[in-house]
Amino acid sequence: MEQIRIKKLTDRMNQFRETLLDTRQNVCSERALWTTKAYKEHEMDQIVLKRAYMLKEVLAHMSIYIEDETLLVGNQASSNRAAPIFPEYAMDWVIRELDDFDKRNGDRFYITEETKENLREIYPYWKGRTLQDKAYAAYPESAKLIYDLGIIRNEGNITSGDAHLAVDYEGLLKYGLNHYRHRTEEKLSSLDLTVFDDMKRSYFYQAILIVLDSVEQFAGRYAQLAEEKAASATPARAAELKEIARICRKVPMEPAASFQEALQSLWFVHLILQIESNGHSLSFGRFDQYCLPYYEMSRQDGMTCEAAEELLVNLWLKTMTINKVRSSGHSKFAAGSPMYQNVTIGGQTTDKKDAVNELSWLVLETVAATHLPQPNLSVRYFSRMSQPFMDACITVIKQGFGMPAFNNDEIIIPALMAQGVHEEDAYNYSAIGCVEVGVPGKWGYRCTGMSYLNFPKTLMTALNDGVDLNTGEKICTGTGHFLQMESFEDVLHAWDQAARQLIKQGVILDNCADMVVEQEVPDILCSTLVADCIQRGKHLKEGGAVYDMISQLQVGVANLGDSLAALKKNVYENQVISRKDLWDALVSDFQTPDGARIQKLLLDAPKYGNDDDYVDELVVKGYDTYLDEIKKYKNTRYKRGVIGGQYFPGTSSVAANIAQGASTPATPDGRRSGEPLAEGCSPQHAVDVNGPTSVFKSVSKLKTKEIAGGVLLNQKVSPSMLVEKEDCLKLSALLRTFFDVLKGYHVQYNVVSKETMLDAQVHPEKHKDLIVRVAGYSTFFNLLSTATQNDIIERTEQNF
């Protein structure tokens, strides 16, 4: 193919899309009720069996329906975009916020009185039994203090499941679940129950068999429903429903033999994984690679290109039906209720050839035509990517819904190999969630998504001799107070010492959360579909995956460097601000008599994002502490069979930069108290005034190859700047330079004008499908809180 063709949706898919856009987000209590019943009945069972019985109960009884427009079936909750409640993870916040769901500023959910009543009724059972209750109780005292003060956050890790992975969809389609069933039966029958480890394995294998039966029955329920509906449908629809019924009796248990069978099989499993656990960033992996054989098969059998497109659109619309409700506090970190269901296309095959195929083009075209925040589309860039495909990506970027994002093979493959990933697996990586990467079907949970560390707040604590400025609590051993720091080296030393202690506390929180997740909420289906869980007889949290490396998130990397530069320049080199005046200005949020002068001097200091070595080197230096310290730590799967078992650094921050900024005092970069922090490795908003080449140069000075977990960069471009073909070619050259020469990791674009966003704040009804890129994912502008909306509006617009 040479040129992208973004077609209109078919009438019925358009109808499906419109209905979804008009659907209010509800809260659904069905899963919570069935889960409670199963847990009560299986109190005595081993946890893996209890989890299997839970899934069985839910799949057997939850409401199912088939939308009039759809060719692919399977629903997550009692209505589309309704968010189920997962009581085994956390219930306190659910009950506490029941009456506030529909009053939130952002991420609003509607809930009926009946649902509230249902949830209140089961609450007493869950008191003290949830993941959150048990993990919090297990937190060691020092780490608990840090958690309570909000210095390090990992609420998401103890209030929901893990996910953040792509399971082996290739194997699923090729072999069907029956293959996994037979393998499990074989393994089970060969166990020697006098051996302790075999005894443990036996429960896991039994759990898999229960779950696979439940999945088969669940698909059967849809087959039956489709047949029932066919009886009263128009002849054309009846034929479709009968075909749906046939397919549901076949997949996901049997191998797929057509495009529709493949997509249905995929959807069933993808869906059930999101009923089994409420972890998000459950990704599709390299969709264009493993689905290609089924696409080609059907095309040869006479499927038209239009029919293939409709099926794809149908699948993308289905991803939009999945939802998740988070606590109001956690919503601020993941604004716009994102599910981060990533689809990766392009890149290279394991034999290093261009992997772009006919299906890659169709995915790009149909995601563009569907134009919704889900799925989250990533394109693997590599230096030999064809210009027509690059142009096609830019055409889609121009549409302004933040997709596709680019991940760069040229840095990611060597970075993964440096972490111990085998070459053929490294060439097969896919994006997970937003910017991070893993090997589909072989990698455990959370290649990203562990705890968040707030860098600027850590710096302020370091300058305050280890005492948190907001609460007066001593949270780490200090090296003295800023007022006594005679040289800039003292400042760097203080940062280094404080940061190392807090990084260590973050690891303690992570490991403690992981320990309790392993004990309380193992995922059976998810483990079934990741190599080598069946082989080892271990679920993912026990070390079942081939690879298991995790990364954390940091907030305000740029603010740290900018702060160090402003201190160095003004206090130690030019000596235009005394330490006392600066400190007084910071703690009073620049309200001292000469606070305005001081703030201006700080703001005028060199800022990261402008290709200025003075400050960029300090960003690198500040980050070196993190790189050096995090290397030392292992996760709970270390030496339990996995390759890795360690941390690797990454710089995502999702929307945490706003929430964490709100509790961060004024900082030496001139940022006022409460203002948002910088996200990922992006510069602080509105300080990168030298254009995109300078931003790329600054970002490229980070030790990207060591930051294998992801280096997130957001850029905003005014749509008027991408009108001319010539401008698009220049964007293409810009990106290729960033990736080929500077070895950048990732970049994503927001191409929505400031005017449009300002108008959407005043007239949300006119912009119900306005989509913006937040930080590694896209979401509806209308779902965001005013603070997040403003944050996006304020990002520096790069002009072309």
Neighbours of 660 (CB within 10 A): 28
Cα angle 260, 262, 267; round to 5: 95
> Nearest distance from residue 321's CB to another protein, in Å?
41
DSSP characters over 110-171: B--HHHHHHHHHHHHHHTTTSHHHHHHHHS-HHHHHHHHHTSEE-HHHHHS----B---HHH
Residue 249 touching another protein (CB under 8 A): no
- DSSP one-letter string for 252-271: TTSPP-SHHHHHHHHHHHHH
Site for another protein contains 12 (CB under 8 A):
no
Q: How far is the CB of 721 from another protein (least distance, A)?
A: 9
Q: Determine the interface stretch with another protein among 330-338, 574-582, 653-661, 727-735 (rule: CB under 8 A).
A: 727-735
Query: Smallest distance, Å, CB 726 to another protein?
Result: 4
Compute the least distance from the CB of residue 727 to another protein, in Å. Answer: 7
CB closer to another protein out of 14 and 693:
693
Are 4 and 395 in contact, with CB atoms under 8 Å apart?
Answer: yes
With contacts defined by CB under 8 A, name the span among 345-353, 628-636, 661-669, 684-692 that binds another protein: 684-692
Q: State yes or no: residue 697 binds another protein (CB under 8 A).
A: yes
Nearer to another protein, 483 or 742 (CB): 742
504 contributes a contact to another protein by CB under 8 A: no
Q: Does 724 bind another protein (CB under 8 A)?
A: yes
- Closer to another protein by Cβ: residue 717 or 772: 717
CA distance 77 to 82: 6
Task: Give the nearest distance from C-beta 265 to another protein in angstroms.
Answer: 43
| Residues 769-798 within binding reach of another protein (CB under 8 A) | 798
Q: Which span sits near another protein by CB under 8 A: 265-273, 321-329, 617-625, 729-737?
A: 729-737
Task: Round to whole Å and give the CA distance between 94 and 116.
Answer: 9
Which two three-digit tokens encode residue 606? 């060199």
| 575 phi/psi in degrees, rounded to 5 | 50, 45
Residue 605 dihedral angles phi and psi, to the nearest 5°: -65, 160
| Contact track, another protein, 144-183, x by CB under 8 A | ----------------------------------------
**How many binding residues for another protein (CB under 8 A)?**
21
**CA 203/CA 527 separation, integer angstroms:** 13
Among positions 133, 288, 510, 611, the unique one binding another protein when judged by CB under 8 A: 611
Residue 754 touches another protein, criterion: CB under 8 A = no
Whether the Cβ atoms of residue 284 and residue 375 lie closer than 8 Å to each other: yes
By CB under 8 A, tell whether 736 contacts another protein: yes
**Rounded Cα–Cα distance for residues 571 and 579 (Å):** 7
Q: Is 693 in the site for another protein (CB under 8 A)?
A: yes
By CB under 8 A, residue 299 contacts another protein: no
Choices 42-50, 426-434, 557-565, 732-740; region in contact with another protein by CB under 8 A = 732-740
Binding of residue 733 to another protein (CB under 8 A): yes
Which amino acid belongs to residue 422? H
Q: How far is the CB of 693 from another protein (least distance, A)?
A: 5
Nearest by Cα to 560 from 455, 410, 662, 682: 455
Q: Which residue has the tokens 């090997």?
A: 439
* Calpha distance 39→57 (Å, rounded): 10
Residue 671: CB minimum distance to another protein, A: 18
| Contact flag: residue 691 with another protein (CB under 8 A) | yes
CB of 733 to another protein, least distance (A): 3
Report the half-sphere exposure of 429 (CA within 13 A, side-chain side): 33
Tokens describing residue 450: 């562990």
Cα within 13 Å of Cα(430), Cβ side:
33
End-to-end CA distance of the chain: 28
Q: Does 734 bind another protein (CB under 8 A)?
A: yes
Among 399, 690, 753, 761, the residue binding another protein under the rule CB under 8 A is 690
- Please give the C-alpha separations between residue 33 and each of 38, 39, 121, 158, 670, in angstroms, as whole numbers: 9, 10, 9, 21, 51
**Residue 727 binding another protein, by CB under 8 A:** yes
3-class DSSP assignment, residue 431: strand
When the beta carbons of 211 and 615 are compared against another protein, the nearer one is: 615
CB of 1 to another protein, least distance (A): 25
Q: Tokens 């490396």 map to which residue?
A: 549
Interface with another protein, residue 730, by CB under 8 A = yes
Report, in Å, the least distance between residue 610 CB and another protein: 9
Q: Which stretch binds another protein (CB under 8 A): 7-15, 374-382, 504-512, 693-701?
A: 693-701
Residue 224 is a binding residue for another protein (CB under 8 A): no
Instruction: Indicate whether 692 belongs to the interface with another protein (CB under 8 A).
Output: yes
Least Å distance between CB 564 and another protein?
21
Strands 771-773 and 778-780: antiparallel
Q: Which is nearer to another protein, 301 or 724 (CB)?
A: 724
| Closer by beta carbon to another protein, 114 or else 726 | 726
Q: Enumerate the β-bridge partners of residue 550.
A: 647
Determine if 599 is a binding residue for another protein (CB under 8 A): no
CB of 302 to another protein, least distance (A): 45
H-state helical runs in 62-112: 92-97
The candidate with the shortest Cα–Cα distance to 51, out of 194, 157, 176, 210, is 210
Binding status of residue 743 toward another protein by CB under 8 A = no
Please, what's the b/e burial string for 610-637 (b: 16 or more CB within 10 A of its CB; e: otherwise)? bbbeebbebbbebbebbeebbeebebbb
Among 741, 755, 766, 768, binds another protein (CB under 8 A): 741
Contact mark string toward another protein, 627..656, x via CB under 8 A: ------------------------------
**Separation between Cα atoms, residue 216 and residue 250, nearest integer Å:** 9
- Residue pair 127/501 in contact (Cβ under 8 Å)? The answer is no
Instruction: Determine, following the binding rule CB under 8 A, whether residue 22 of this chain makes contact with another protein.
Output: no
Q: In this chain, which stretch among 32-40, 154-162, 505-513, 736-744 interacts with another protein, using CB under 8 A? A: 736-744
Element (H, E) at 787: helix 786-794
- 468 versus 797: smaller Cβ distance to another protein: 797
For the bound state, the minimum distance from the C-beta of residue 212 to another protein, rounded and expressed in Å, comes to 52
CA distances from 785 to 263, 653, 658 (A): 35, 17, 11
Our finding on whether 605 is near another protein (CB under 8 A) is no
Residue with tokens 């009456």: 99
Q: By CB under 8 A, is residue 694 in contact with another protein?
A: yes
CB 407, CB 378: distance < 8 Å: yes
- Examine residue 595 and tell whether it contacts another protein (CB under 8 A): no
As measured in angstroms, the least distance from the Cβ of 730 to another protein is 5
With contacts defined by CB under 8 A, name the span among 569-577, 641-649, 692-700, 769-777 that binds another protein. Answer: 692-700
User: Per CB under 8 A, does 239 bind another protein?
Assistant: no
CB atoms within 10 A of CB 232: 9
Q: To the nearest whole angstrom, how small is the minimum distance from the Cβ of residue 530 to another protein?
A: 40
**C-alpha–C-alpha distance, residues 597 and 585, integer Å:** 10
If the CB atoms of residues 10 and 753 are measured against another protein, the closer one turns out to be 753
For residue 796, report the phi and psi dihedrals to the nearest 5 degrees.
-60, 130
CA 115 vs. chain centroid, Å, equals: 28
Cis ω for the linkage preceding 375 (within 30 of 0): yes
From 753, 626, 740, select the one nearest 681 (Cα to Cα). Answer: 626
Question: Would you tell me which residues interact with another protein (CB under 8 A)?
Answer: 611, 690-694, 697, 724, 726-727, 730, 733-734, 736-737, 740-742, 798-800
